[in-house]
């Protein structure tokens, strides 16, 4: 199982805003316990954002969409906007 490094950034922001009650160590431990591999966000992923339709306005989600398209990987999300992107396989 993979998790985008972008998702860790989102978790950190939500923790800082008081929406989540755990820290970096908790996240690292949880990822290790679940044997989740963190997928780094690279220039290949960033370049995939060129020409990406603006179906989704959240920049973090757009990065995850671009990363999924570049890596040909499915995305687990209840967010209905992800399904608007051709080539993105949404699981959930």
Condensed to tens digits (0 to 9), the pLDDT of residues 72-82 reads 999 999 999 99
CATH number of the domain enclosing 27 = 3.40.50.1010
pTM (2 d.p.): 0.90
Q: Give the pLDDT of residue 50.
A: 97
pLDDT in tens, 14-66: 999 999 999 999 999 999 999 999 999 999 999 999 999 999 999 999 999 99
Structural domains of the chain, count: 1
52, 54, 59, 60 alpha-carbon torsion, rounded to 10°? -70
- Is 28:62 a contact under the CB 8 Å cutoff? no
């Amino acid at each position: 199982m993979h998790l985008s490094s972008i998702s860790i950034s989102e978790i950190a922001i939500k923790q800082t805003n008081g929406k989540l009650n755990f820290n970096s160590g908790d996240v690292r431990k949880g990822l290790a316990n679940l044997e989740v591999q963190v997928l780094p966000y690279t220039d290949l992923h960033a370049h995939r954002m060129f020409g990406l339709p603006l179906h989704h306005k959240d920049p973090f989600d757009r990065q995850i969409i671009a990363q999924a398209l570049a890596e040909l990987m499915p995305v687990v999300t209840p967010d209905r906007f992800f399904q608007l992107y051709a080539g993105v396989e949404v699981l959930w």
